[in-house]
Amino acid sequence: MHIHIISVAPELLDSPFAHSIMKRAKEKGLLHIHTHNLRDWAINKHGQIDDYQYGGGAGMVIMCEPLVNAIEALQKDHQFDEIIYMTPDGDTFNQQAANQLSLKGNILIICGHYKGIDQRIRDHYITKEISIGDYVLSGGELAAAVVVDAIGRLLPGVLNDETSALTDSFQDNLLAPPVYTRPADFKGWQVPEILLQGDPKKVADWRFEQSFERTKTRRPDLLGDI
């Protein structure tokens, strides 16, 4: 899968993909991340990409011209399945959205900054608008990193244990059950006996019960969807 990201601060996107599972996904050739600096399409030699908003008010707005030039330059070489704008007023991201995006081959993500991007770009180029939650970040980069991570780990072959993404919290609208590792007794705190006995059916039933109870107390809203 190829993910292109247009940003005014592409350095923010280096570290999130340089470690652990995302690093492995890239090394295996399963995930290709291409970052682009919007400033490369600035409208003048001062590097201008934003301007005051019509109607007045604080905060700069990213201009149409540099962003359209950036998008169209990339479109010459790539056929994007989605052009996504990261914005706090977008659709709230969740596991289902991650699952759907993980099936695409080529996506372009645009990170906003300041007051955002000119509405005409949203009207004419953007196919999906995503927020990662009800709070405001200073730019779309960290949100884009969250989305790319959530998508990247779903790509076939990225996780070592092919089944492990399926048992994540949210994948079946249930939170994940508690997990334990050695020792079985730590300071007198015991691992539940059923996990030590090794009866797979009993373990599966116990995990489902724990998931269900956890979801009921912590996130009853999720159970409404079952």
Q: What is the closest distance, in whole angstroms, from the C-beta atom of residue 17 to ligand 6GU in the complex?
A: 17
Rounded to a whole number of angstroms, the CA Rg of the chain reads 22
DSSP per residue, 137-149: -SBSHHHHHHHHH
Angle between helices 20-27 and 141-152 (to 10 degrees): 70
Residues 89 and 61 sit within 8 Å (Cβ to Cβ)? no
CB-wise, 58 or 136, nearer to ligand 6GU? Answer: 136
CB-wise, 137 or 191, nearer to ligand 6GU? Answer: 137
Query: Residue 119 and residue 173: Cα distance in Å, rounded?
Result: 34
Q: What is the closest distance, in whole angstroms, from the C-beta atom of residue 130 to ligand 6GU in the complex?
A: 6
The SS3 assignment for 12 reads helix
Q: What is the closest distance, in whole angstroms, from the C-beta atom of residue 53 to ligand 6GU in the complex?
A: 16
Token pair belonging to 102: 């993980």
Q: How far is CA 148 from CA 4, 185, 196, 199, in A?
A: 10, 39, 37, 37
Element (H, E) at 194: helix 193-197
Residue tagged 């011209």 (tokens): 65
Q: What is the closest distance, in whole angstroms, from the C-beta atom of residue 14 to ligand 6GU in the complex?
A: 19
Q: How far is CA 181 from CA 162, 196, 202, in A?
A: 21, 10, 18
CB-wise, 87 or 211, nearer to ligand 6GU? Answer: 87
CB-wise, 78 or 115, nearer to ligand 6GU? Answer: 115
CB-wise, 7 or 211, nearer to ligand 6GU? Answer: 7
Q: What is the closest distance, in whole angstroms, from the C-beta atom of residue 99 to ligand 6GU in the complex?
A: 19
Query: Residue 25 and residue 141: Cα distance in Å, rounded?
Result: 20
Q: Which residues bind ligand 6GU (CB under 6 A)?
A: 86-88, 130-133, 135-137, 139-140, 143
Q: What is the closest distance, in whole angstroms, from the C-beta atom of residue 71 to ligand 6GU in the complex?
A: 18
CB-wise, 30 or 97, nearer to ligand 6GU? Answer: 97
